[in-house]
Amino acid sequence: MSSPGAPEQPSQHMVQAVIAGLAVAIFILDNFFPLGFAVPALYLLPIILTVRLLHPMAPFITAGWTTGLTIIGIWTSPIPSFQPGLFNRSLVILASWVAATLIWHTTQKHARRELEALVAARTAALRQSESTLHSFFDATDLMMGVVEVVDGKLVMVITNRAAATLVGTNSDNMASQPLSELGFSPDASDFWMPHLEKARRTGQTVRLEYQFPSTPPTVLASRIIASAVSFIGPSAAGNPLFAWIQEDITEKKQIEQRMEANRRSLEASQTQLRHLTAQLLTAQEDERRRIARELHDDVNQRTVSLAYEIDNQLQQMPGLPTDARDTLQFVRNEVAELSDQLRDLARRLHPSVLDDLGIASALQVCAREFEQRERIRVHLTLQKASRPLNRNLSECLFRVTQEALRNVAKHAKATQVQLALTFSEDHVMLQIDDDGCGFTPQQRQNAQQGLGLISMGERVRLVQGTITISSDIGRGTHLSISLPLIGVADEQTSHFTR
């Protein structure tokens, strides 16, 4: 960016050239066309043109130059009489210097007026800026000010309205007052000096939070303050000056403390809820196991015995009428079908194979029953732990598989399912993929409010596992859970694929 005077440089050079050319032309005219007093008097024209030059001494420089040319003209001019020429040229020289003086005085007066106008404008702008800064200084809710360290004590130099209001006075009354006389704690200076020294030593802003003691009582008793101090230089007396900004964050901290307390209370409630959920799921599994055992060992055995008894009666009474025999045969078939249904119900409530042969076999049975019931092919890739899993892990894997297959049958419109059970060194992983219609994130959000996904998530969390569900429209759904191997005594596994 060029300086403000840069565009005027060509015109200045042009004026200088005109002045020089005019003076030379007058000198030539004086030598070849002597007209007595008239020609030397023309030297006033270059002097008058110096009003277009910025240099303050231009009139005198031009007058000196034209004086020299006028004096040279005494000897070079062809006028025969020496005395009249000398007198005339003396008058021209005197007029030139008078004109130069008048022009210099006029230009200086004009320049002075311009300078005064510029100073006045700058002063008005400075006052406006100062007024704006002062308005901001007093309008902000932040406490701000400047302190001076005098003989190891803090003296307030200036403060804004917010700080004065907090102390219960005005900013004028706080000026030049030690902190100890403004209602602050007697040891306030001792508290601040290390932080001020750090700010001066490092040249950086020092930030801190602190709480005023409640005893002895002070204007900021028990208030939590966030503060920032910066070194701004020495005062006129040579003492260090520091700018400070403070904010009363007591209410903010109280809100944060209440939020933290609420968060902890919520976490405690969630923990209690999970414990209750775990107890409910455990009680549910125990109740399912008990009902399944009673159905299998008691009710189903009675129905089987009843079917055998009917068969015995049919064999012992060959002379029964045909209608009576057909009726007994129908009852016998109904009892046998009821026995099958009771056995199936008991297996669905709690498959004994889960306890007897382990999770892999239980998943195989579950998949076979799903295929027969829903006509959806299930491709199995199962690893069997050589020793039984922890019962909670086995039940979690089995119940999640049941719920996932139920969702496939209900929502996915799939033709086949991939089910894989694998073991790593310290985790067991279950993955279920279908080739169904999939779902959108919004549909998933709605589905997550259902009891099925909620129960799956809770079962997995109760055994410290993780569950992941992903889906794309038209690309099916992928479910993956990973459980830590709790209670696996032997990590060697065998492999089964169907």
CATH number where 209 lies: 3.30.450.20
Tell which of 248, 280, 295 closes a domain.
248
Secondary structure element (H or E) that encloses residue 246, with its range:
strand 240-248
- Percent over 90 (pLDDT), the chain: 14
- Residue 230: the pLDDT is 93
On whether both 32 and 56 belong to a single domain, the answer is yes
Residue 450 belongs to a domain: yes
Tokens of residue 420, six digits: 């894989």
- Residue 39: the pLDDT is 63
CB 66 within 8 A of CB 14: no
On whether both 125 and 148 belong to a single domain, the answer is no
Average model confidence (pLDDT) across the chain = 79
Residue 127 belongs to a domain: yes
On whether both 240 and 265 belong to a single domain, the answer is no
Number of H helices, E strands in the chain: 16, 12
On whether both 360 and 343 belong to a single domain, the answer is no
Secondary structure element (H or E) that encloses residue 140, with its range:
none
pLDDT band at 221 (very low <50, low <70, confident <90, very high): low
Domain span at residue 159 reads 140-248
Residue 220 belongs to a domain: yes
Nearest Cα residue to 209 out of 164, 250, 254: 250
What's the pLDDT tens digit per position in 5-40? Answer: 444 556 888 888 888 888 888 777 777 765 555 566
Residue 1 belongs to a domain: no
Tell which of 248, 277, 306 closes a domain.
248
On whether both 173 and 288 belong to a single domain, the answer is no
Residue 333 belongs to a domain: yes
d(CA 286, CA 280): 10
Burial letters 482-496, b for 16+ CB under 10 A, else e: bbebeebeeeebeee
Residue 421 belongs to a domain: yes
Residue 70 belongs to a domain: yes
pLDDT band at 417 (very low <50, low <70, confident <90, very high): very high
What's the pLDDT tens digit per position in 420-448? Answer: 999 888 889 999 999 988 877 666 666 55
For residue 250, the number of C-alpha atoms closer than 13 Å in the C-beta half-sphere is 8
What's the pLDDT tens digit per position in 252-301? Answer: 888 888 999 999 999 888 888 877 877 777 777 778 778 877 777 777 78
Residue 17 belongs to a domain: yes
On whether both 207 and 286 belong to a single domain, the answer is no
Please determine, for residue 159, whether its predicted confidence score (pLDDT) is greater than 70.
yes
CB 157 within 8 A of CB 175: yes
What's the pLDDT tens digit per position in 162-210? Answer: 777 766 767 677 777 787 777 666 677 788 889 999 999 999 999 988 8
Tell which of 181, 215, 248 closes a domain.
248
Q: Which residue has the higher pLDDT, 44 or 448?
A: 44
What integer is the mean pLDDT of 464-484?
89
On whether both 323 and 360 belong to a single domain, the answer is no
On whether both 58 and 116 belong to a single domain, the answer is yes
- Residue 352: the pLDDT is 72
What integer is the mean pLDDT of 212-223?
55
Q: Which residue has the higher pLDDT, 417 or 33?
A: 417
CB 119 within 8 A of CB 75: no
Residue 246 backbone phi and psi in degrees, to 5? -135, 150
pLDDT band at 139 (very low <50, low <70, confident <90, very high): confident
What CATH number is associated with residue 468? 3.30.565.10
Q: Rounded to two decimals, what is the model's pTM?
A: 0.48
On whether both 305 and 365 belong to a single domain, the answer is no
Q: Which residue has the higher pLDDT, 7 or 248?
A: 248
What's the structural domain count of the chain? 4
On whether both 47 and 65 belong to a single domain, the answer is yes
Please determine, for residue 492, whether its predicted confidence score (pLDDT) is greater than 50.
no
What's the pLDDT tens digit per position in 444-461? Answer: 666 555 567 888 888 888
On whether both 20 and 66 belong to a single domain, the answer is yes
What's the pLDDT tens digit per position in 48-100? Answer: 888 878 788 888 888 888 888 877 777 776 655 455 556 777 877 888 888 88
On whether both 482 and 359 belong to a single domain, the answer is yes
- Residue 380: the pLDDT is 92
- Residue 174: the pLDDT is 74
Tokens of residue 166, six digits: 């907090």
